[in-house]
Amino acid sequence: MRLLRLLWAFVVRDAKIAFSYRLQFFFQSASVLSLSITFFFLSLMMKGVEGGIVALDRYGGGYFGFVLVGIAFSTYLDAALRTFSASVRQAQITGTLEAMLTTSSPIGAMVFGSALYTLLFTTARVGLFLFLGVFMFGLRLHGEAWLGAVTVVALTVTATFALGIFAAGFIVLFKQGDPVSAAVNGLSWLLSGVLYPKEILPDWVQDVADLLPMTHTLEAVRLAILTGAPLADLMGAVTYLGGFSAVGIPVSLAWFSWAVKRARVAGSLASY
Amino acid sequence: MSAVEVRGLKKTFRLRRNKKELLMPWRPRRTTEALVGVDLKVERGELVALIGPNGAGKTTLLDVLATLVLPTSGTAYVEGYDVAHDAVEVRRRIGYVLTEERSFFWRLTVRDNLMFFAALQGLFGATARERIESVAESIGLVDQLAREFSALSAGQKQRVAIARGLLPDPPVLLFDEATRSLDPGRAERVRRVVRRLVDRDGKAVVFATHDLDEARDLSDRIVCMAKGSIACAGRFEDVEAEAMALFVEEAQSEDAELHALLSS
């Protein structure tokens, strides 16, 4: 109970700070609309050729639904990778980290709490993407497959949090130059099928793509909400993401704890 | 059991490699000794002023007590808990008053800031609100609670920092140059607040400063630090000359450096 209240305190803090920058908050929300419109017109341009793209058949055949889901759900990865390291870095620079670390709350809860608002805001943005897709651009979603989609998204969050916590460990140790975010984010955009089906990539590149959590997320979420695939058909992604989380979360927490201990020895915990 | 008990505390920092050393990574890194066998005891209801010139090791000692820095050797206990192995228990028993104004969220109100830090100390909802009102009342901050932190004066921000340290009602308070950058009137108000915490509430306070007058007016006992070790300790009247000598030595050293610089 105490942990939940503590996490809620982080959400309240970050929401109040975010709302105090009203213009930025507006533009972050408005970008969903501009991106949706951009890809809607891009999909219109592709109307003539999308029937010939065999790889799209698995996902219902239309490019707009494919790319909207890709853009919307890839934001979880982007948010998780950025939010942990960015919140630690910002707290180092502003000096709030030092103040927070002298309190009795566990550091793991502080790191997780710092990411919660971004997670909730990202979820709201994903919802807005889908809402606009359905009510503005006539996209048809299969609501009956919600269980599979929610399961995959939940596991995506834990898997990407593992990566985010790992990236934050680098920030604790080296302050800048976290290699995890850049590598995973860049590779995911390139290989995971955000904008185009991964099936059009060479076979050996697809094998590399299959190592990335986002590849499994996008494939499974598209199958669920664009074609109505039941949870049983998504078990490959569920197994991979679940396994990634089960291994990744303890490893990343151990790495982060080790990084904090090293920083306490070096006396650099709160320096920037 | 003393509120704070430090025995033979040492802290050695490894220095960053310079460009030449980066080419020889097999060589051990150079080190600097920030604390060299420090012994210190502070009882409840006692205010110890930690004085010394810049770089004497005052902040490192406070950081060790606040569990931000792990000692290289020696022991440090707060209310019987080891700072190296019982960090969470130690943090429950200390209030570290940082002078950094930046360590708050400037877009939030004073109350929102204190509510957040109260939550980090395990105080929530009505309990937290009551505690914040009570602490704000005791240090004259009630009228400022609804104001945005960025709108406060330097003295008011400093009092918010003290309020944050007092939220969990800790038995031990650590102040790191709490009156730095305050005008004399505001500095005096802060000192009165601190003194009252010792006399009325029985707190143990370690107050780092490099202002000898402040140390004399405020403390029950002073501990002088130089180059990471304790140079003198006792009542101000007894060690005044030794304390003064530390600052004179520092000033002479700086003068010599400045003279050499200007000559070159």
Instruction: Determine, for residues A102 and B67 on separate chains, whether the beta-carbon distance falls below 8 Å.
Output: yes
Q: Are B41 and B223 in contact (CB under 8 A)?
A: no
In the stretch 77-116 of chain A, residues with CB closer than 8 A to chain B read: 94-96, 98-106, 110
User: Chain A: nearest CA to B138, how far in angstroms?
Assistant: 21
Nearest residue to B105 via CA among A33, A100, A261? A100
Express the helix, strand and coil content of chain B in percent, nearest 5 each: 45, 25, 30
What's the pLDDT score for residue A272? 66
Token digits of residue B2:
């003393």
Strands of the sheet containing B229-234, edge to edge, are: B94-97, B172-176, B204-209, B47-51, B221-226, B229-234
User: Chain A: nearest CA to B96, how far in angstroms?
Assistant: 7
Q: Does A6 touch chain B (CB under 8 A)?
A: yes
Q: What are phi and psi of A192, to 5 degrees?
A: -80, -5
Task: Measure Cα distances from B212 to A31, A41, B14, B159, B227 in Å.
Answer: 58, 72, 31, 22, 18
Token digits of residue B65:
């007590």
What's the pLDDT score for residue A198? 87
Residue B186, pLDDT above cutoff 80: no
How many CA atoms lie less than 13 Å away from B2 in the CB half-sphere? 17
The DSSP code for B148 is B
The mean-pLDDT minimum among A115-124, B110-119, B247-256 falls in B247-256
The mean-pLDDT minimum among B83-87, B91-95, B179-183, B186-190 falls in B179-183
What's the pLDDT score for residue A177? 67
Distance CA B214, CA A9 (A): 38
Chain A partners of B100 at a C-beta cutoff of 8 Å?
A: 95, 98-99
In the stretch 233-262 of chain A, residues with CB closer than 8 A to chain B read: 261
Chain B partners of A94 at a C-beta cutoff of 8 Å?
A: 102-103, 105
Comparing A262 with B180, the larger pLDDT belongs to A262
Residues B45-62 have pLDDT tens digits of: 999 999 988 888 999 999
The closest CB to that of B119, out of A5, A95, A269, belongs to A5
Chain B partners of A98 at a C-beta cutoff of 8 Å?
A: 68, 98, 100, 103
List residues of chain B with CB under 8 Å from any CB of chain A. 11, 13-14, 34, 60, 63, 66-70, 88, 91-92, 94, 96, 98, 100, 102-105, 107-108, 112, 115-117, 119-122, 124-125, 164, 168
Comparing A176 with B69, the larger pLDDT belongs to B69
Average pLDDT, stretch B19-36? 82
Residues in chain B: 264
The closest CB to that of A104, out of B13, B34, B122, belongs to B122
Nearest residue to A175 via CA among A80, A89, A79, A87? A89
Beta carbons within 10 angstroms of residue B221's beta carbon: 18
User: Which three-class secondary structure string do you get for B201-237?
Assistant: CCCEEEEEECCHHHHHHHCCEEEEEECCEEEEEECHH
Comparing B206 with A178, the larger pLDDT belongs to B206
Q: pLDDT truncated to tens, each residue of chain A (272 aa)?
A: 788 999 999 999 999 998 888 787 788 778 888 888 888 888 888 777 776 777 777 887 788 888 898 988 888 888 888 888 888 888 888 888 888 888 988 888 888 898 899 889 889 988 998 898 888 888 888 878 788 889 999 999 899 888 888 888 888 887 776 777 788 888 888 998 888 888 888 999 999 999 999 999 999 999 998 888 888 889 999 999 999 999 999 999 899 889 888 888 888 776 66
Closest residue in chain A to residue B167, using alpha carbons only: A103
β-pairing, B94-97 vs B172-176, is parallel
Model-level ipTM above the cut of 0.95: no
Q: Which residues pair with B77 in a beta bridge?
A: B5, B82
Q: Which of B12, B117, B206 to mutate to test the interface with A (most CBs of A within 10 A)?
A: B117
Query: What's the whole-number average pLDDT of chain B?
Result: 88
Q: What are phi and psi of B153, to 5 degrees?
A: -80, 170
DSSP conformation letters of chain A: -HHHHHHHHHHHHHHHHHHHSHHHHHHHHHHHHHHHHHHHHHHHHTHHHHTT-GGGGGGTS-HHHHHHHHHHHHHHHHHHHHHHHHHHHHHHHHSHHHHHHTSSS-HHHHHHHHHHHHHHHHHHHHHHHHHHHHHTT-----GGGHHHHHHHHHHHHHHHHHHHHHHHHHHHHHSS--HHHHHHHHHHHHHS-SSS-GGGS-HHHHHHHTTSHHHHHHHHHHHHHHH---GGGGHHHHHHHHHHHHHHHHHHHHHHHHHHHHHHHHT-SS--
Average pLDDT, stretch B12-23? 80
Residues B78-107 have pLDDT tens digits of: 999 999 999 999 999 999 988 766 789 989
Instruction: Determine, for residues A95 and B103 on separate chains, whether the beta-carbon distance falls below 8 Å.
Output: yes
